Chain A
């Protein structure tokens, strides 16, 4: 663990510590937050803790810009979910939302200040062809037409190749389980669907469902720790931390049931890492009994030491201020990301500006 805890982590763990932060400190904090895609989240977090009023006015101003964007993303996400629901209405399947879509529809804490991209849904494997056909009837088209890519997604991964709506330029990922087929672990997709909880309320079209709390948390940990890319690592870890904290408080028996559920889905190693690094970096309060029950799921001590060194670097904001000699080894440097332009590709007004003067580096990302 690095000696200096990055400012962003300090802000997330103990926002009151930001009182008296000098302008240069706010400048750095906002850069770290933007880099980690946590600007709007930081806005909401500070507001929740009464620290927004005390922030440097220019910092508060910038955070409010990010909040406007997040609000728009949320509106667009509800809208997209609604349209997906309409497209799949005739199939007799629940609209089982995963990740960001689920957080938004259910109003869960990770939805606060979030910038959404694709919508992810979970369907039975045997229904993939009908789902794909229904989406295509309603204006979605397949992507990744290269035969290698097609095989990659359909045979080896756990999803259809991402589909994009022709008019709205929004993307949907249709999964049938939560880990690639090629992975050693085999989560129980049937249980994931059977334990799913229906949603009611304005944000959710009829027939919408989300994973049960235990499964949602396991999915979050798996999504983060089974993946090789950590450019969104801190954002994903924050989601996990929010879910653990929320369900720990509101879902009876959550902590007690977590170890066994993790093992049932063969995801115990990922959950071990999830609990460990969420606690280490974000201060998640995991009951000692749960930690003890998961102790057997740890990797051997030498491997754990290596993982600690890697993850405690890779999960930090990828901002220059948070990197040390080991950072390049631990993750990979990703400067070129249209991060804060990433929104569900909405029908925005033409970016007259970039069309007029400069060529965007990644026309798909920047031209949203």
Chain B
């Protein structure tokens, strides 16, 4: 199976600038067109191990990053994102092009893939059992995810989009780069020395953003699903002691529903899938500040 790495840099850039690069991320196939060096660099670095698809293959999502042909082109260059012909978002400064692709692809999946209950959460697996980490932005979820998958021995299934397959109740991998913000970037650079990080992009709406390549065999094992075993709501708080408190099942259910993109679209099927997950997976609130202690807690959780 050919991967993106098989393309010489020139060839990669050519495809992106032309008819598009087609690749597979977990269950989804993506066609990306983006005639801009930062995107080519980002893809080359972070998507190196992803399966390459043929030019005439079906693509689930067509993403097209364009530079508008206006005076802005030279003065304050912008980038616009078209998802299957629709422009859903405001233009962004050109240097935000790669993050825009990441966020745009997340948006495409989370708004359409209704085979799954899609939770705004990270999900990681160890020995077939998975922990789901729902968290609003800024709660340290991504830092924790980077640490758990980069150093803690957990396999990354996803950093942003937890896909719970309605029919089977399994968690389906959707491995993609982990997005890190502001202070987390340096923290992870230090904590996970062999992490591969994109150059930081400054002044986004979330501050400075960098993406970490999905570590270990996350991409290689994208077809290996996992059973849900734990739901942990993380809260980072500077100086906080590490605590893990069990959460009542009904409360876990409601919080997960509230953290889902498409729970209300799925109707009864979503209700049943979430109910089944709650039967299988224990819920916890997790407070921490030290990564070593956090990784330790998860290791013990796994052993229990």
Contact = CB atoms under 8 A, between A and B. Distances in A.
Interface of A: 22-24, 26-27, 31, 34-35, 56, 58-59, 61-62, 64-65, 68-69, 71-72, 75, 319-320, 335-341, 346-354, 356-361, 366
5 contacts: A35-B85, A360-B88, A360-B90, A361-B88, A361-B90
Which of B59, B86, B137 has the most chain A CB atoms inside 10 A of its CB? B86
Contact of B261 (A62, A349, A359): A349
Interface string B48-85: 00000000111110100000000000000000001011
A68 B117 CA distance: 12
Interface stretch (B7-15, B228-236, B263-271, B293-301): B263-271
A27 B29 CA distance: 11
B29 A58 contact: yes
B87 interface: yes
Contact of B60 (A58, A72, A336): A58
Given A26-B58, A352-B136, A319 B85 contact: yes
Contacts of B89: 354, 358-361
Contacts of B261: 349, 351-353
B254 to A, nearest CB: 11
B258 interface: yes
Contacts of A35: 85
Nearest to B103: A357
Nearest to A26: B58
B260 interface: yes
B259 A352 contact: yes
B145 interface: no
A338 B264 contact: no
Interface in B5-31: 29
A31 B62 contact: yes
A130 B187 CA distance: 64
A39 to B, nearest CB: 10
Contact of A31 (B84, B103, B258): B84
A239 to B, nearest CB: 22
Interface string B95-106: 000001001101
Contact of A349 (B58, B103, B113, B258): B258
A335 B82 contact: yes
B111 interface: yes
Contacts of B272: none
A341 B115 contact: no
Nearest to B91: A361
A350 B136 CA distance: 11
A115 to B, nearest CB: 12
Given A335-B87, A361-B88, A27 B59 contact: yes
B58 A339 contact: no
